[in-house]
Amino acid sequence: MNFGLAEKRALVTGASRGLGRAVASALRSEHAQVAICARDASRLRDTASALGALAFARDLTPRGSAILLAEEVIAATGGIDVLVVNTGGPPVGTFEAVDDPDWISAIDSMFLSAVGLIRAVLPGMRERKWGRILIVTSVAGREPHPALVLSNALRPALHGLVNALSREVAADGITVNALLPGFTLTERLQELGVDEATIAQQVPAKRMGRPEEFAALATFLASEQAGYICGQAIACDGGMLRSI
């Protein structure tokens, strides 16, 4: 199927590895022009070279940095048609274990960075009457996970942003959706020593997800054919979520 992404310009954050890299790779396979962002400059360069993407090494936690990144990408490519906001999860911790600086850092890195990126890309999307905004969250946004109070609190806030914003921009041909990954076999989980067999027993599909499966969902939602899917939070989790 031709997803209508040839020559579309995409920005994918958190894309030096894991889910972000998989999404960037899938978009490149559809002949989109892709810019990728991550903090690790060396790994980002290697990924960009392998994918044929543009590399922008940035930390999006400092306030204002997300807008500056988007403006640089727009200057380099002429515009951003597809925005994939993929930020790392905040530190593990219970409510009593996290303090005000932890909350502020999580809000800046997870929520305000998304707001800044969207604020920068919307004018161009509205002018062209076409755009796709995807925000990667987590199944924790629907069903809280133990000792992840920061993520449990802020992921639903992003879902609220998706729903509210989608109603404001849908008439301009812009869709806004959230993607909720479940347990997916990324480098990060492998580094943490997660036991795949143990995790698989918690998932109805009896296995962990593959990054390319998540990327396939993201690519479809970025496509021309997905123009009537808007304001949704869609899980790719092997059936983990108990509610829809």
User: Could you list the pLDDT tens digit for every one of the 244 residues in the chain?
Assistant: 799 999 999 999 999 999 999 999 999 999 999 999 999 999 999 999 999 999 999 999 999 999 999 999 999 999 999 999 999 878 889 999 999 999 999 999 999 999 999 999 999 999 999 999 999 999 877 888 888 899 999 999 999 999 999 999 999 999 999 999 998 988 766 655 678 888 888 899 999 999 999 999 999 999 999 999 999 999 999 998 877 6
What is the pTM (predicted TM-score) of this model?
Answer: 0.95
Other Cβ atoms closer than 10 A to 7 = 9
Q: Which two tokens stand for residue 92?
A: 């593990």
Q: Angle at which helices 41-51 and 18-29 pack, to 10 degrees?
A: 20
Domain boundaries along the sequence of the chain: 9-236
How many angstroms separate the first and last alpha carbons of the chain? 28
CA distance linking residue 215 with residue 233, whole number of Å: 15
* Single-letter amino acid code for the residue at 128: R
Nearest to 151 by CA among 119, 188, 109: 109
Class in CATH terms, 9-236? alpha beta
Instruction: Report the C-alpha gap between 10 and 141 in whole angstroms.
Output: 25
